[in-house]
Structure 1
């Protein structure tokens, strides 16, 4: 897991890559199904940017997970 955001109260960690590996999904496929470019999806899974809520929900739907399973908050 790689941290994407660190604040005073929490750390947000993206775990999408782990789900892609576990389920044999390709980034290109998920990006297309979620309606985002491969570049945008790459930035999201490589912790360079956070998606909008609608995009986060689309990604979660494609992967078959809930949004809160893809971005973990650690206190």
Structure 2
């Protein structure tokens, strides 16, 4: 099972969710899906998101064994 930590990092960042949506040109629904691990950003988006949020790509998600 994959757990998204994107919401956690957004809360700790200087950006709001609407600002992240604007930066990435995505809808609030898309960001919500990223935050709940229903869908995932592309690799380039994940790399950019990690840079914007001041973390590593590895920090954005956590894998918990089945």
Could you tell me which runs of 5 or more consecutive residues in structure 1 were left unpaired when the two chains were aligned.
1-10
Q: What root-mean-square deviation, in Å, do the aligned CA atoms of Structure 1 and Structure 2 show? A: 1.8
Determine which structure has more spread, i.e. the larger CA radius of gyration.
1
From 32, 47, 58, the counterpart of 1:57: 47
Between Structure 1 and Structure 2, the one with more helix by share is 2
Could you tell me which runs of 5 or more consecutive residues in structure 2 were left unpaired when the two chains were aligned.
none
- Which secondary structure does the structure 2 equivalent of 1:49 belong to? coil
Q: Which 4+ runs in 1 deviate beyond 4 A?
A: none
Between Structure 1 and Structure 2, the one with more strand by share is 1
Moved more, 60-69 or 22-31: 22-31
Structure 2 length-normalised TM: 0.74
Is 1:25 the counterpart of 2:35? The answer is: no
8 Å Cα contact 2:2/2:37 also seen in 1: no
Structure 1 length-normalised TM: 0.68
